Structure 1
């Protein structure tokens, strides 16, 4: 694995790693800043580096909004006490916009 891109986000570090030997794949992960030797949580795998970086940056915006709404990351889900979990992959892979995410969080918050 080779790290291709990294950026800080909300007390963590987001990383794009190149994985695979025959077919180049790019894995997006979030890693705790307090445990830089850990492998982190896998958020998605993409076959294009630029798209993986785009998704990494989208995740940071999404994660920031979710944290502001009281959610936290647990594995591959955004969770909040007494609210339905939100799958990270459903938000990233469906290309949910920031406005759509805000609406989703408001629905989650008010339900």
Structure 2
């Protein structure tokens, strides 16, 4: 009976870890998609501006702004990824600690019997 409880707890932790890792993956994909969309929008603006003579300065300024934005977004994404991974690790660690303490309690209970 106690073994069944332990197996259920271990299965729940494995499922929770999978769900958290999948959510982290989804958030990372979303952040990357936003960066790619911004990049495409800038590329389109640069392309349109470069078709008109005399817009070399504007085109260069826009390309520079795009590079700065891409750098900022890369830093933000990296920072967000680190925070998300830290939260994931903390949740998994808490669940592992809970399972270990539950296992210890069950072992002590079994020894008493």
Task: Give the shorter-chain TM-score range.
Answer: under 0.3
* TM-score after normalising by structure 2: 0.26
* Bigger radius of gyration: 2
Higher relative contact order (CA 8 A, sep 6+): 2
Considering fraction of residues, name the structure with more strand: 1
Which of the two has greater helix per residue? 2
